[in-house]
Chains A and B, each alone.
Chain A
């Protein structure tokens, strides 16, 4: 009879260990799952605002996008747009307060014709637009999208 009681104690101990292990693994998995969900949501919103920004740039068009700073060698010029802020739902904000995502557009023009400290574009030029969306909390890149414009192009 004493021997049988000992088995029950061992059984309880094993059960407790299993429960604890399951709880630990489950909790970690839950956290991981939540992170995946958050990442999924952020990726989805980032893709939307990224695409939206590039479409806006395309509407402005090859001829009207702002000119950039001429790089050494005069072969190209780079324009870095201002940082824009968005909340977790992709709504644009006026400043960084409450921001969940940041967006910045970059335009690289090449080749360019430099004269008198300024430059012009020709029908040989391309204007490469890249838009980067970052996590506002840790500044890590979530998504980068890019396209190219040509004179008379689409």
Chain B
């Protein structure tokens, strides 16, 4: 009996080992399964992110394709029809982003993700589906297609782009002027440079979608350039060189410019920027090439109070392809700086949150982007002036020759709505309205 007990005890080793091995194996398999699941989840998540980027790329790709196709044919043929080709899982044209894994399918319709083809008029939505691995994402965007052969501008042709009213005591502008409210007071317009353009309309000296008020005042438009005025005209509006007076006009253009420049101003404001060192006000030197945060767009910022003292700022090491942008932060600006730079026509001062700008003690040099601001001008402004209200005192000038903005300002991006820059040639397709992604 004792022997039998011993044998039974020794004989339990193998079953015990087998049980322990089974339990250990189960734990290992469980751990591996969990790790594998987490890995698969990460890959799926990454694929999903990549698919959304490709879906958005498809919308931009279709916009460029529309611009390309628009040189011929009718508008309805410029967009990709909502047809599902044989062998394809989704409607539309198949494409891909070179260098990235995945495919997209994109088409246009009259409603978001709809199946009715666009006829060339009314709202048009671009719809895309992207697939990366097993991840599928969709995006839809309402766009605006402006007529083919457009020569529309983005307002940079105008020496002054005023979204509300203007009051002037005298003076002149070298370039064309656009005002979208009443304008009171004498002024001489477009003395030197080439005329402005609005969409397909050229030879513009004055573009006014409001009234010219106050009897006795004289305004002159030089060089045979036309005056477009949709409102009433009090006083005298002279056109030297046989320019025409045209009273039928697209009154919405300036409003669309307000939206465009507001979007640009806000997009610039959130770009990565460097503070201009004003610790030594007698030695304000900016090393332009040293700011590499946004490629050749060199973005800086400065407090509004810093630009008040009568000082000089030097933009050094600025290349011909650079665009210098300075965000000026503060509600009130009393301008006091002289600007030294090799390319003054590639500098933009962005006053995104400024209510009042006074240019009195020193001339202002560079583009003044101040969509919300009232500008009180006592001294010359050398460059584009984009503002809400404009008052001048005495006879200061708006200089444009050599100062017309030649830099590059984008529209930013991201979700939400807004409109983008118009193209220089061919049909322009712009991000117009709603954007949806799923």
Contact = CB atoms under 8 A, between A and B. Distances in A.
Given A12-B13, A59-B412, A153 B100 contact: no
Contact of B426 (A123, A126, A147, A149): A123
A64 to B, nearest CB: 4
Contacts of A126: 60-61, 64
A32 B58 CA distance: 38
A63 B409 contact: yes
B36 interface: yes
Contact of A152 (B29, B45, B297, B431): B431
Contacts of A40: 35, 38-39, 41-42
B300 to A, nearest CB: 14
Nearest to B53: A147
A128 B99 contact: yes
Contact of A146 (B24, B63, B100, B423): B100
A11 B59 contact: no
Given A51-B53, A130-B100, A22 B25 contact: yes
Interface stretch (B83-91, B190-198, B210-218, B413-421): B413-421
A69 interface: no
B10 A59 contact: no
Interface string B229-272: 00000000000000000000000000000000000000100110
Contacts of B21: 18-19, 22
A68 to B, nearest CB: 10
Contacts of B24: 22, 26
Interface in A93-133: 106, 108, 118, 122-126, 128, 130
A141 B41 CA distance: 19
Given A60-B294, A145-B50, A36 B64 contact: no
B267 A61 contact: yes
Contacts of A41: 42
Given A64-B294, A124-B426, A149 B18 contact: no
B241 to A, nearest CB: 33
B5 interface: no
B408 A63 contact: yes
B296 A66 contact: yes
Contacts of B423: 122-124, 151-152
B98 interface: yes
A105 to B, nearest CB: 11
A43 B46 CA distance: 7
B310 interface: no
Given A32-B32, A44-B45, A61-B267, 9 more contacts: A22-B24, A25-B25, A26-B25, A59-B267, A108-B98, A123-B422, A126-B61, A147-B54, A152-B430
9 contacts: A8-B10, A22-B25, A61-B411, A63-B421, A64-B294, A123-B64, A128-B57, A152-B411, A153-B59
- What are the 5 A-B residue pairs with the smallest beta carbon separation, nearest first? A123-B423, A61-B410, A146-B100, A66-B295, A152-B420
